[in-house]
Amino acid sequence: MRISEAFIPTLKEIPSDATIPSHRLMLRAGLMRQLTSGVYSYLPLGWRAMMKAMNIVREEMNAIGAQEFHLPALNPESLWIQTGRRNIPNFIFSIKERDLVLAPTHEEVIGWLASTHIQSYKDLPQTWYQIQTKFRNEPRPRSGVLRGRQFTMKDSYSLDRSWEDLDISYEKHKEAYKRIFTRCGLNFFIVGASTGAMGGTGSQEFMIDSNYGEDTAVLCSQCGYAANTEVATSSIPPKHRSIVSEPLREIYTPNIKTINELVDFLKLDHTHFAKALAYRYNGSPILILMMGNDQLNEAKLSSALGGGEIQPIDPEELRALTGADAGSIGPVNLQGFTIIADKRLQNANNLISGANRNDYHIANIDLSRDVPISGYYDLRTVEEGEPCPQCFAPLKISNAIELGHIFKLGTKYSEALNITYLDETGKSKPVIMGSYGIGIERIIACYIEQNNDSDGIIWSKALAPYQVHIVALNIKNNVTKEYCEHLYTQCQNAGVEVLYDDRVDASPGFKFKDADLLGMPVQVIVGEKGLKQNTIEVKIRRSGERIQVPLDATISTLQRILSSTSL
């Protein structure tokens, strides 16, 4: 492609809301433009990179025997009502004129196809996939294409006869994902993830470490334990139960609202306190008890409760329900609430919590004696430095961006959509499903997050929109022009994807800057001076290394460089 004829709108001024490197560079290098919040147009260079990523994904999916589909983005609303997902908050875009929705994922459509066509054990296993546009009503689109309202996903679905066969499909996907992200040049790690309200028996996420990530991962550098904070645990000890439970006693705690204030006021460490948090779960009040300063993890809470809507109770309502403000509520003699507690408090005694009266707390609470606890669950967020659940080494916490997710769904959709097959004995059984997603934009943006410098993007040959970038220093010079035209044709004939900066009025300095910004792996710099000595210069974008190459060896040198694995 000749740059003089190409649409590559590079930018000097970046909108102030573009704060993360990949977002800034995708704008600066003319890869994409925002149309409206969370919605992007991919321009030719950006789309070429996306296609490279999609082809890698496609090759690896085909290699595990997955078959490619193209499913409709417009779905009948009824299908989503049937699976109970129609009203998940911040998920589905609706269509005003008809009973249709824009699909945020495709378990429903796959399930419908499977329920209509899969009949016997002979029809299984199947692995179906597509690379297609998804729509999600994200409340806070941000970080450029990393969180869009419209984005491209590779989604695949496995349909198996048994849980053992699902394990095989899942492992195949896991291996394919490792190959995909490795080929894309991403430095990734895998964590155990939440199965959330979807149930299922297991799920893992592929992530990159990034300060801009909206996820957090808990990692052990000693044994390799890795989990999303939504499911991570630690070996932090539970509250020790004292031999004697003292009688309940009200204590005066004027103006004391937080656990830290209580710690100072009563000169006791935070493990003596049960913090009480009030929510509504599917409309009904629920009180959650946490030890001292332990943070409630809402994802764990949601999984523990089996999905559904969870909302904090607002202050006025809380006062009406308990008689107190947030810092003074507690579990003793509390009417109208279901009460659950974190596992660390299991059967704990001699605890201090709010008295449901402002300025008062109750001491010596014995949870098994004084409180009708409906259940103990793991509800706390692991903190940096806590002991690893496997090897007790101190845990680290990193922010991370999710690239992909693999999920043992099990029978949730088979039950909702009646996806069954007849086994060898003629008995009807539910199909066991798995679902597996990769965000294509996230591959591109995460790659740029990990591969850039102050000058611009550093593409690997696997994702680069073009492999070679010819920089003609002064195209007004006939010898330079003639050689560049010849090299451009030679590259094309040799099947090398080439971008050719043939602009007449751009200065050499300007062209160098653009070449570094656009970031193709190999630059060929052609100028009068070199040509007089029968040489051109090859610059490797990643290392900055420069090589003088004799004219008659240009193409062979380029091919040799391009076949090296380090590019």
Residue from 342, 402, 449, 514 that binds ligand ATP (CB under 6 A)? 402
CB of 205 to ligand ATP, least distance (A): 7
Size of the site for ligand ATP (CB under 6 A): 16
Residue from 144, 200, 354, 404 that binds ligand ATP (CB under 6 A)? 404
Binding mask 136-165 for ligand ATP (x = CB under 6 A): x-x--------xx--x-x------------
Residue 40 or 483: the one with the smaller Cβ distance to ligand ATP is 40
Cβ neighbours of 37 (radius 10 Å): 12
Instruction: Report helix, strand or coil for 309.
Output: coil
Backbone angles phi, psi at 327, to 5 degrees: -75, -5
Binding residues for ligand ATP restricted to 96-125, rule: CB under 6 A: 105
CB of 18 to ligand ATP, least distance (A): 16
Binding residues for ligand ATP restricted to 469-498, rule: CB under 6 A: none
Residue 341 or 446: the one with the smaller Cβ distance to ligand ATP is 446
Query: Applying CB under 6 A, does 48 fall inside the site for ligand ATP?
Result: no
Residue 148 or 389: the one with the smaller Cβ distance to ligand ATP is 148
Backbone angles phi, psi at 452, to 5 degrees: -150, 165
CB of 156 to ligand ATP, least distance (A): 11
Residue 205 or 294: the one with the smaller Cβ distance to ligand ATP is 205
Report how far residue 498's alpha carbon sits from residue 402's, in angstroms, rounded to the nearest whole number. Answer: 32
Residue 210 or 480: the one with the smaller Cβ distance to ligand ATP is 210
Query: Applying CB under 6 A, does 408 fall inside the site for ligand ATP?
Result: no
With the C-alpha atoms ordered 532, 535, 536, 539, is the resulting torsion angle positive or negative?
negative
Cβ neighbours of 147 (radius 10 Å): 19
CB of 130 to ligand ATP, least distance (A): 13
Residue 146 or 371: the one with the smaller Cβ distance to ligand ATP is 146
**Beta carbons within 8 Å of 54's beta carbon, 6+ residues apart:** 131, 152, 154, 440
Report how far residue 561's alpha carbon sits from residue 540's, in angstroms, rounded to the nearest whole number. Answer: 9
**Beta carbons within 8 Å of 185's beta carbon, 6+ residues apart:** 447, 450, 451, 460, 462, 463
Query: Applying CB under 6 A, does 405 fall inside the site for ligand ATP?
Result: yes
Please choose, out of 284-292, 368-376, 402-410, 554-562, the segment that lies near ligand ATP by the rule CB under 6 A. 402-410
CB of 555 to ligand ATP, least distance (A): 39
Cβ 149 vs Cβ 418: under 8 Å: no
Residue 444 or 472: the one with the smaller Cβ distance to ligand ATP is 444
Instruction: Report helix, strand or coil for 376.
Output: strand
Cβ 559 vs Cβ 549: under 8 Å: no
CB of 403 to ligand ATP, least distance (A): 5
CB of 45 to ligand ATP, least distance (A): 19
Report how far residue 109's alpha carbon sits from residue 80's, in angstroms, rounded to the nearest whole number. Answer: 9
Nearest to 205 by CA among 441, 449, 406, 442: 406
Residue 28 or 136: the one with the smaller Cβ distance to ligand ATP is 136
Query: Applying CB under 6 A, does 516 fall inside the site for ligand ATP?
Result: no
Query: Applying CB under 6 A, does 437 fall inside the site for ligand ATP?
Result: yes
**Beta carbons within 8 Å of 458's beta carbon, 6+ residues apart:** 451, 452, 519, 521, 541, 542
Residue 94 or 222: the one with the smaller Cβ distance to ligand ATP is 94
Query: Applying CB under 6 A, does 442 fall inside the site for ligand ATP?
Result: yes
Please choose, out of 7-15, 57-65, 398-406, 537-545, the segment that lies near ligand ATP by the rule CB under 6 A. 398-406
Cβ 436 vs Cβ 406: under 8 Å: yes
Task: Give the chain's count of helices (H) and strands (E).
Answer: 15, 31
CB of 527 to ligand ATP, least distance (A): 43
Residue 188 or 466: the one with the smaller Cβ distance to ligand ATP is 188
CB of 140 to ligand ATP, least distance (A): 10
Helix 554-563 / helix 478-493 crossing angle, nearest 10 deg: 50
Name the residue with the smallest CB distance to ligand ATP: 439
Please choose, out of 82-90, 400-408, 414-422, 522-530, the segment that lies near ligand ATP by the rule CB under 6 A. 400-408
Query: Applying CB under 6 A, does 439 fall inside the site for ligand ATP?
Result: yes
Query: Applying CB under 6 A, does 434 fall inside the site for ligand ATP?
Result: no
CA-based end-to-end distance of the chain: 21
Please choose, out of 122-130, 337-345, 438-446, 483-491, the segment that lies near ligand ATP by the rule CB under 6 A. 438-446
Longest alpha-carbon distance in the chain = 99
**What's the one-letter identity of residue 1?**
M
CB of 190 to ligand ATP, least distance (A): 12
Report how far residue 559's alpha carbon sits from residue 551's, in angstroms, rounded to the nearest whole number. Answer: 14
Taking CA atoms, 315 is separated from 10, 254, 284, 337, 470, in Å, by: 51, 19, 16, 16, 65
Instruction: Report helix, strand or coil for 155.
Output: strand
Query: Applying CB under 6 A, does 441 fall inside the site for ligand ATP?
Result: yes
CB of 402 to ligand ATP, least distance (A): 5
Query: Applying CB under 6 A, does 444 fall inside the site for ligand ATP?
Result: no
With the C-alpha atoms ordered 545, 550, 552, 553, is the resulting torsion angle positive or negative?
negative
Cβ 436 vs Cβ 180: under 8 Å: no
Report how far residue 330's alpha carbon sits from residue 352's, in angstroms, rounded to the nearest whole number. Answer: 9
User: Which residues bind to ligand ATP, rule: CB under 6 A?
Assistant: 105, 136, 138, 147-148, 151, 153, 402-405, 437-439, 441-442
